[in-house]
Structure 1
Amino acid sequence: MGYIYILGTIIFTVYGQLMLKWRISKYGSLPEGLMDKFLFLFKLLLDPLIFSGFVSAFVASIFWMAAMTKFNISFAYPFMSLSYVLVFMFSVYLFKEPVTAYKVIGLAFVVVGIIISSRSMT
């Protein structure tokens, strides 16, 4: 069951990040003036899908607390790096973000690190 908690943490984290990026990009850039920034950010918070991203982050935290009851943090935390990989893959597919050799190599290192750390901690 512990791995389900880690998976839930990753899924809700990735959803929250992607939802925030998708919806915030619909509103444009942050204004220059201090009051304009405040009003802009408040307007963002009123967007139901942006709010769902914040709720998703909260749910991810609940899953993470459950995972912490099952694993040492030094074992579980490297799995959170999978969220980097998933956000990258979805950002390429959903937002048409560029794929570069440096990004792919970096993500490969992340995956190798997850494999190594998960084997050495069990």
Structure 2
Amino acid sequence: MGYVFVAITVLLTVYGQLVLKWQVGLAGMAPAGAADKAVFLVRLLLNPWVLSGLGAAFAASLSWMLALSKLSLSSAYPLTASSFVLVLAFSAIVLGEPLTAAKLLGTALVVTGIIVLASWG
């Protein structure tokens, strides 16, 4: 069951990151002045999509605590790196972000690290 909680943690984290990037992208660049930045952030915080992303982050934290109650940190934590793979894939598919050779190579290295840690960790 611990691995299920890790998977839930990863999926909620990926959802939260994608939703936050989507909504921040729609909101545009943050203004220059401190007061304007504060208004910009408050508007984002009142956005239901942003709230769902923050809620997903909170739920991911709860799921992570449940995962850690079942698994050692050294076993569970490397699996969270799979979020890099999912964010890369979904940011390209959903947000239209470019996939570069450097991003693909870096992600391949992360996957290799996950495999090594899972096999010999």
TM-score scaled to structure 2, two decimals?
A: 0.98
**Partner of residue 9, structure 2:** 9
User: Structure 1, residues 8-54: CA drift from partner, whole Å, max 9, x if none?
Assistant: 00000000000001111111000000000001100000000100000
1:72 aligns with 2:68: no
Question: What TM-score, normalized by structure 1, do the two folds share?
Answer: 0.97
Percentage identity across paired residues of the two chains: 46
Q: For 1:43-54, what aligned pairs fall within 5 Å after superposition?
A: 43-54=43-54
Matches within 5 A, 1:1-122: 1-121=1-121
For structure 2, which runs of at least 5 residues remain unmatched after alignment?
none
State the Cα distance separating 1:79 from its structure 2 match.
0.6
CA distance in 1, matches of 2:11, 2:32: 34
RMSD: 0.6
Please give the per-residue CA displacement for 1:90-109, whole angstroms capped at 9, x wherever unaligned: 00011111111111111001
Separation (CA, whole Å) in 2 of partners of 1:68 and 1:31: 40
SS of 2:94's equivalent in the other structure is helix
Q: How many correspondences in the alignment?
A: 121
For 2:51, give the aligned amino acid. F
